[in-house]
Amino acid sequence: RKEVEQDPGPFNVPEGATVAFNCTYSNSASQSFFWYRQDCRKEPKLLMSVYSSGNEDGRFTAQLNRASQYISLLIRDSKLSDSATYLCVVNRAPPYGNNRLAFGKGNQVVVIP
Amino acid sequence: EAQVTQNPRYLITVTGKKLTVTCSQNMNHEYMSWYRQDPGLGLRQIYYSMNVEVTDKGDVPEGYKVSRKEKRNFPLILESPSPNQTSLYFCASTPAGTVPNEQFFGPGTRLTVL
């Protein structure tokens, strides 16, 4: 099983709609989870960290399910500017060091007018 | 402005011609990494450095070298590039901490080896 798995999509979303996708991770000892956004051929940028209690930032909501080992991202009221690839990132548990991260391949979101 | 810079941004070279991609950060971060990104694959770590003069292999270190003589700089060296090293390369930095912090990525270097 891969460390981090994501359905690459693309997810074609009408403007204004809601889209959600999950990411599964293999190591139950992982403690830190993130969503990064990557625009085409540009550098990834942190979108949000994912906390155990779930967290929300404007139209974006992230959830963590430790029992089933997945994290989710939900985007409400999609904007054209949300079109990007969303990378799921998980810290690798020991014996890896603290800042060793595993990246998913990303969920590609295309918001359609 | 807090940033990570990489040079060059684009490079086309030939097999066997040594090259260096520079990376510099102005945030006084202890931790720096190099990643490569290829179609259909996630970001894969090449090398990382936890501080000056402390470097270690990541997941795909073959064919690469690094050095960390100063805190702000972390160059990636390809002694004898081959076509399978054609890729998009990102340098990243992050402060040290007990939990992983936000990674700050450079703008990327698109390398083509003919």
Predicted local distance difference test score (pLDDT) of residue A1: 76
Is the peptide bond between A10 and the residue preceding it cis, with omega within 30 degrees of 0? yes
Chain A contact for B110 (CB, 8 A cutoff): yes
User: Average pLDDT of chain B?
Assistant: 95
| Position A96 pLDDT exceeds 80 | no
A105 CB neighbours in chain B (<8 A) are 40-42
| pLDDT-wise least confident of B3-7, B37-41, B90-94 | B37-41
Which residues lie closer than 8 Å to A58 by C-beta, 6 or more apart?
Answer: none
Separation of alpha carbons B32 and B29, rounded Å: 7
- Locate A64 and state its tokens: 């963590």
Predicted local distance difference test score (pLDDT) of residue A92: 87
Across the range A103-108, mean pLDDT stands at: 95
For chain B, what percent of residues have pLDDT higher than 90?
A: 88
Chain A contact for B101 (CB, 8 A cutoff): yes
Q: Considering CB atoms only, which of B31, B42, B102 is closest to A103?
A: B42
Give the chain B residue whose CA is nearest to the CA of A104: B42
List pLDDT tens digits, range B40-57.
888 999 999 999 999 999
Split at pLDDT 50, 70, 90, the class of A51 is confident
Classify strands B10-13 and B109-113 as parallel, antiparallel or unpaired: parallel
